[in-house]
């Protein structure tokens, strides 16, 4: 156990170093009102409960409650090509850093905090490489680490597979993901998906896609 925890701590230090060299703009506060205007296109996917990416088929991530700093870093990664997703690259390529900060501030709303909520259920042994950054109950310990609590399990699985296979070209997360056995990926995804407090899907104006969704 000590060696596993020591490895997790060492990796966490590597992540901290890597993120410290990322653009400082990720820490800049955005304008939520301006972000709301800019996010109309984003809501076409991120504002529909249960909406899924077509191919491969997985749930579009929940963003309400996410750290705004992390949303900016993710958008920057899609813009640079560090993350491979044609639609997200096209959307992010049209955004300035200020646009990203504003959109992130709008989507995050009131970011989820750990408070004093204990983890739901026993922590899987495979989570030893995750808790140093994502916490026992899935709340990122700093704004640059994504909160996983309540995120769609299939989205978490997809992200881990992309880090393992190079679809997301972050060497630090690639190192983390490659330490997780294939059979443990689903276990971890389901564990973090059931944690509280939870991320939510941002609401959007009622449409044929959202009508009745609140009753499901």
Question: How far is Cα 36 from Cα 50, in angstroms, rounded to an integer?
Answer: 21
Predicted pLDDT of residue 15? 52
Q: Which of 201, 130, 158 is nearest to 53 (CA)?
A: 158
The pLDDT assigned to 10 comes to 53
Per-residue buried b or exposed e for 77-110, using 16+ beta carbons within 10 Å of the residue's own CB: bbbeeebebeebbebbeebebebbbbbbbbbbbe
- Local confidence pLDDT in tens for the 216 residues of the chain: 444 445 544 555 555 544 444 444 456 789 999 999 999 999 999 999 999 999 899 999 999 999 999 999 999 999 999 999 999 999 999 999 999 999 999 999 999 998 878 888 899 999 999 999 999 899 999 999 999 999 999 999 999 999 999 999 999 899 999 999 999 999 999 999 999 999 999 987 654 544 454 444
In CATH, what is the architecture of 2-204? Orthogonal Bundle (1.10)
Relative orientation angle of helices 86-93 and 68-80, to the nearest 10 degrees: 100
Q: What are phi and psi of 88, to 5 degrees?
A: -65, -35
| Pairwise CA distance, residues 175 & 8, whole Å | 11
* H helix and E strand count, the chain: 10, 2
Instruction: Please give the C-alpha separations between residue 209 and each of 48, 50, 53, in angstroms, as whole numbers.
Output: 7, 10, 15
Q: What is the pLDDT of residue 2?
A: 41
CB atoms under 10 Å from CB of 57, counted, come to 9
Which pTM value belongs to this model?
0.85
């Amino acid at each position: 156990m000590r060696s596993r925890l020591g490895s997790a701590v060492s990796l966490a230090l590597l992540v901290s170093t890597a993120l410290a060299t990322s653009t400082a703009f990720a820490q800049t506060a955005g304008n939520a009102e301006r972000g709301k205007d800019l996010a109309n296109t984003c809501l076409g996917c991120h504002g529909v409960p249960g909406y899924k990416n077509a191919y491969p088929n997985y749930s579009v991530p929940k963003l309400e409650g996410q750290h705004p700093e992390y949303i900016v870093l993710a958008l920057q990664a899609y813009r640079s090509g560090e993350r491979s997703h044609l639609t997200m690259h096209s959307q992010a390529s049209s955004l300035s850093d200020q646009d990203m900060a504003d959109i992130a501030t709008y989507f995050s709303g009131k970011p989820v905090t750990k408070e004093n909520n204990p983890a739901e259920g026993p922590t899987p042994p495979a989570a030893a490489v995750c808790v140093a950054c994502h916490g026992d109950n899935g709340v990122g310990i700093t704004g640059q680490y994504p909160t996983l609590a309540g995120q769609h399990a299939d989205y978490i699985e997809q992200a881990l597979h992309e880090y393992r296979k190079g679809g997301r070209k972050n060497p630090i997360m690639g190192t983390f993901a490659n330490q997780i056995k294939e059979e443990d990926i689903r276990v971890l995804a389901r564990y973090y998906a059931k944690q509280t407090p939870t991320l939510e899907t941002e609401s959007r104006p009622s449409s044929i896609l959202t009508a009745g969704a609140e009753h499901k």
